[in-house]
Chain A
Amino acid sequence: GAVVSQHPSRVICKSGTSVKIECRSLDFQATTMFWYRQFPKQSLMLMATSNEGSKATYEQGVEKDKFLINHASLTLSTLTVTSAHPEDSSFYICSARPRGLGYEQYFGPGTRLTVT
């Protein structure tokens, strides 16, 4: 149980284009979903927290107009990287907190974004 999927697993896009990454909780409903970013040889950095049906809360230094987060249902959150640049190339990981089952978080497998 408690499986989180991400799609796509890898994406290459050209500079200036936008990319959408999906995060789904497959066997549970998630009231809260989280987006992290990880650069090579570094730890995960929390970007934003989203609750279903409300606006995301962004961590300091994360541009909300560049990283658009939509949490439209209890099983789906999307992260759109707008006008991507090479410095946005990173490993993006989502996680989800099950509804009503305490505070555990379950992580997706990650999406490797490469901007050329």
Chain B
Amino acid sequence: DAKTTQPPSMDCAEGRAANLPCNHSTISGNEYVYWYRQIHSQGPQYIIHGLKNNETNEMASLIITEDRKSSTLILPHATLRDTAVYYCIVKTGANNLFFGTGTRLTVIP
């Protein structure tokens, strides 16, 4: 599976949009981009995934560049409960999930 690069930490003001970037320059054509988050001392929570089109659900939006070498997870109105470590993972559908170090997002009141 392709490797991903994420900033180690980010801050976001409460109520503002949180934009979390992820680089995956070695992604191959059949690999999806998945986003999970882990709130302290809990199991990871699935957020969203996509292949090449932008995706939106009730939690977030996923913007994937046309060349698919990077993506951005957008939390449109961050709340304090969105403080967590966010993991961007690239993999084919059937392959296992391997977690990198992620981005620690802190939402500030």
Is there an interface contact between B43 and A93, defined as CB atoms closer than 8 Å?
A: yes
Q: How many residues on chain B are close to A (CB under 8 Å)? A: 19
Give the docked Cα–Cα distance between A34 and B97 (Å).
Answer: 9
B3 to chain A, nearest CB (A): 13
Is there an interface contact between A46 and B46, defined as CB atoms closer than 8 Å?
A: no
CB of B57 within 8 Å of the partner chain:
no
**Chain A contacts of B99 at CB under 8 A?**
36, 43-46
B34-47 to A contact mask, C-beta < 8 Å, 1/0: 00101001111110
Is there an interface contact between B42 and A109, defined as CB atoms closer than 8 Å?
A: yes
How many interface residues does chain A have, given as a range? 20 to 34
Chain B minimum-CB-distance residue to A103: B93
**Chain B contacts of A107 at CB under 8 A?**
36, 43-46
CB of A102 within 8 Å of the partner chain:
yes
A84-116 to B contact mask, C-beta < 8 Å, 1/0: 000000010101000000111111111010000
Give the docked Cα–Cα distance between A46 and B91 (Å).
Answer: 14
Is there an interface contact between B43 and A4, defined as CB atoms closer than 8 Å?
A: yes
Q: Please list the residues of chain B having a beta carbon within 8 angstroms of any beta carbon in chain A.
A: 36, 38, 41-46, 49, 87, 93-94, 96-102
Leading 8 A-B pairs by shortest Cβ distance: A107-B43, A103-B93, A44-B99, A43-B99, A107-B44, A93-B43, A110-B43, A109-B43
Give 19 pairs: A residue, B residue, CB < 8 Å, sorted on A: A4-B43, A34-B96, A36-B99, A43-B87, A43-B99, A43-B100, A44-B44, A44-B99, A46-B96, A91-B41, A93-B44, A95-B43, A95-B97, A104-B46, A107-B44, A107-B46, A109-B42, A110-B41, A110-B43
